[in-house]
Amino acid sequence: MALEEYKRKRRFEDTPEPPPKVATKAGNRFVVQKHDATRLHYDFRLEMEGVLKSWAVPKGPSLDPADKRLAMQVEDHPVSYFDFEGNIPEGNYGAGSVMVWDVGTWTPLSPMPVNGKYVPGTEAEAAAMLAKGDLKFRLNGKRLKGDFALIKMRGRRPGSKGNEWLMIKKHDDHVVEGYDAGEIDESVLSKRSMDDIAGDARSKAWTSSRPAGRGKLKAAWLADAVAKLDQKRAAAKGQKKKSATPLSPQGTPRKKTPRKVKDKR
Ligand code: MN
């Protein structure tokens, strides 16, 4: 799959997300990103085969083995997505705030338990388990720890896209009954809440003259573009009674396609 789908879905001149690039170095990190998109969800990503294998988990990962969390496999992401936190502007794929909710390392588990206990496996075993749709692994994160399985659902249910997996905690010393990821609203990178992160985008939209890094510059550019659009619209409104809708070169009325920047909540 490489990163073709990741690339196809995004316009990199318009989003602060990292460009598609397959890593040549092997790594064993994982990340969970809380993502306030159209629907709030958690993106669980495992560094593997030069990319981040990714699943969107609507309810978030759980440390309670009684929870079978739906995890929809989504497109591979570049490894540099690992520490992406910020705001994907409206009008872009996945628009909304992203928080780095957990980070750490992971180890594949051998599909063959020894004396009823799971033991570390190899990268080759991990690749085979992923292909088979039954991936067992151990997490050592700041919040998520212990053994887990991601199991691909075989059932053909109505409307199923065939990308549905279940993420399940295994029984070990790290079990927490009744676990709720939603109770922890703090970035492990910046300590910010989702509101703090979203608030950054709002404040940037009002202060476009701030000296800026790459992400801020884009936000400032967007803020300027939006301000111009607003001026145009205000002017158009004022002229409405005097002149007709401006015509396109084909002579048909121009379609209005304002960029949405309104706050979702
Ligand atoms: Mn997402």
Cα of 133 vs centre of ligand 1, distance in Å, is 21
What letter does residue 143 receive in the DSSP assignment?
S
Cα of 94 vs centre of ligand 1, distance in Å, is 6
Cα of 158 vs centre of ligand 1, distance in Å, is 23
Cα of 43 vs centre of ligand 1, distance in Å, is 5
For the ranges 23-32, 102-111, 254-263, which has the lowest average pLDDT? 254-263
The strand pairing partners of 157, in sequence order, are none
Judge contact between 56 and 72, C-beta under 8 A. yes
pLDDT digits (tens, 9 = 90+) for 43-65: 999 999 999 999 999 999 999 99
- Backbone phi, then psi, for 121, in 5-degree steps? -115, -170
Cα of 109 vs centre of ligand 1, distance in Å, is 26
Has residue 25 got a pLDDT over 90?
no
Domain edges within the chain: 4-209, 211-241
DSSP per residue, 194-238: HHHHHHHHHHHHH-TTS---HHHHHHHHHHHHHHHHHHHHHHHHH
Strands 145-152 and 51-57: unpaired
pLDDT digits (tens, 9 = 90+) for 75-116: 999 999 999 999 999 999 999 999 999 999 999 999 888 988
Helix/strand/coil for 5 = helix
Spatial distance between the Cα atoms of 21 and 3, rounded to a whole number of angstroms? 7
Has residue 247 got a pLDDT over 50?
no
Has residue 262 got a pLDDT over 60?
no
Q: Which two tokens stand for residue 30?
A: 């994982």
Residues in Cβ contact with 121 at an 8 Å cutoff, skipping those fewer than 6 apart: 107, 108, 109, 110, 111, 129, 136
Question: Rounded to the nearest 10 degrees, how much is the dihedral formed by the CA atoms of 146, 133, 26, 62?
Answer: -30
Cα of 16 vs centre of ligand 1, distance in Å, is 14
The strand pairing partners of 158, in sequence order, are none
Is the CA virtual torsion 83, 147, 136, 134 positive or negative? negative
pLDDT in the model for residue 88:
95
DSSP per residue, 15-74: --SPPP---SS---EEEEEEEESSSEEEEEEEEETTEEEEEEETT---S-TT-EEEEEEE
The strand pairing partners of 235, in sequence order, are none
Cα of 84 vs centre of ligand 1, distance in Å, is 12
Cα of 249 vs centre of ligand 1, distance in Å, is 39
The three-point CA angle 95-99-100 to 5° equals 130
Cα of 108 vs centre of ligand 1, distance in Å, is 24
Cα of 38 vs centre of ligand 1, distance in Å, is 9
